[in-house]
């Protein structure tokens, strides 16, 4: 009898351990295909999260739209190599400012085709000059009473789960900071279920200086970011003999922006896309971000195909 009882206990123990191991290794329930809105100042700013966007549209079946606030004509100084490509004297300021808005939109459409972006929205605000002064951009470059209401309208009407934008560092372009603060304000003021707003920075493993998440400090533009960092690894290997990775996609996307010659030097310059949550008052911000990036990591080594975006009426 003791032998039988011992055997029963052993079988019970094995079953219990098997169930525990299965519970520990089981994947969480799949998330619904996410809806994301990118809000940035310039054509090519989407490069910060190019691999993340590609994986959302191809691996998770999500929908990504993009709203670009300026027309990007301030980039004429970097267009020397593109003059022969487009047959336009783009580095002449007057010519460049006249021609670049249309050229850069076409480049952005090509970039969007690579990443699987469904819809592009353009606000055609002036890209007047480089400055780190966010208030100069908001007060002098962009039309007052236009940008924030339009971003609010897109967020409210799009039922987005997430808004991606650039993390506002002290030394970045004032336009980048202005776009981020505008997106954050629009999300905070939106009715209904608010999107999770995430700020991005790119980095390379082993960089001499680690990323700082201290952020731009301004009494006029207060914001708070949560401490957890979410990462997309561009170097995840897949395909025949593991010869491919998402750096290839990022380089394709960068190459689409041919009018911005210096920008081409960013190819393969970073291998991680890192995000933090910018508090918008959204419900369960951390849990929603964790679910998204867990799903991305689970599928990263098994790229899928572009999922057709649902038609809008």
Residues 132-160, mean pLDDT to the nearest whole number:
95
Checking if the pLDDT of 8 tops 50, the result is no
Domains in the chain with CATH codes:
35-299 (3.40.50.10320)
d(CA 259, CA 188): 35
Residue 310, pLDDT > 80, answer no
Most confident of 8-22, 42-56, 203-217: 42-56
CA distance 229 to 231: 7
Q: Taking Cα atoms as reference points, which of 158, 228, 156, 216 lies closest to residue 187? A: 156
Q: Grade residue 248 by pLDDT with cuts at 50, 70 and 90.
A: very high
Average pLDDT, the chain: 90
Per the confidence metrics, is the pTM higher than 0.75? yes
pLDDT over 70 percentage in the chain: 88
Q: 193-210 pLDDT, tens per residue? A: 999 999 999 999 888 888
CA 199 to chain centroid: 8
Q: Which of 110, 97, 108 is CA-nearest to residue 69?
A: 108
Where do we find the tokens 């993009």? Answer: 66
Res. 305 pLDDT band, cuts 50 70 90: confident
9-23, 29-43, 75-89: range with lowest mean pLDDT: 9-23
More confident residue, 265 or 13: 265
**Cβ-based neighbour number of residue 129 at 10 Å:** 12
pLDDT at position 19 is: 43
Residue 3 has pLDDT above 90, yes or no: no
Burial track 181-207 (b if 16+ CB lie within 10 A, e otherwise):
bbbbbbbbebeeebbbbbbbbbbeeee
């Amino acid at each position: 009898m003791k032998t039988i009882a011992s055997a029963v206990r052993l079988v019970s123990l094995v079953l219990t351990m098997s169930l525990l191991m299965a519970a520990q290794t089981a994947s969480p329930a799949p998330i619904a295909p996410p809806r994301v809105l990118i809000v940035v100042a310039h054509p090519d700013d989407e490069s910060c999260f190019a691999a993340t966007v590609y994986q959302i549209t191809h691996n998770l079946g999500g929908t990504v739209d993009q709203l670009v606030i300026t027309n990007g004509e301030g980039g004429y100084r970097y267009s020397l190599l593109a003059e022969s490509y487009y047959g336009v004297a783009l580095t002449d300021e007057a010519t460049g400012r006249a021609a670049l808005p249309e050229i850069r939109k076409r480049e952005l459409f090509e970039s969007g085709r690579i990443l699987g972006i469904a819809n592009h929205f353009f606000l055609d605000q002036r890209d007047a000059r480089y400055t780190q002064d966010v208030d100069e951009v908001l007060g002098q470059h962009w039309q007052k009473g236009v940008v924030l209401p339009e971003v609010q309208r897109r967020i409210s009407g799009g039922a987005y789960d997430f808004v991606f934008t650039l993390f506002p560092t002290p030394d970045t372009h004032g336009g980048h900071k202005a776009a981020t603060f505008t997106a954050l304000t629009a999300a905070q003021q939106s009715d209904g279920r608010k999107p999770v707003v995430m700020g991005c920075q790119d980095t390379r493993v082993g960089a001499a200086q680690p990323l700082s998440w201290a952020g731009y400090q301004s009494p006029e533009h207060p914001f708070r970011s949560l401490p957890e960092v979410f990462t997309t690894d561009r170097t995840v290997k897949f395909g025949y003999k593991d010869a491919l990775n998402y750096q290839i996609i990022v380089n394709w996307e960068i190459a689409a922006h041919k009018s911005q010659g210096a920008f081409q030097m960013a190819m393969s310059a970073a291998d991680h896309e890192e995000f933090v949550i910018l508090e918008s008052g959204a419900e369960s911000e951390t849990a929603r971000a964790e679910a998204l990036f867990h799903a991305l990591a689970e599928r990263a080594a098994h790229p899928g195909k572009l999922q057709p975006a649902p038609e809008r009426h």
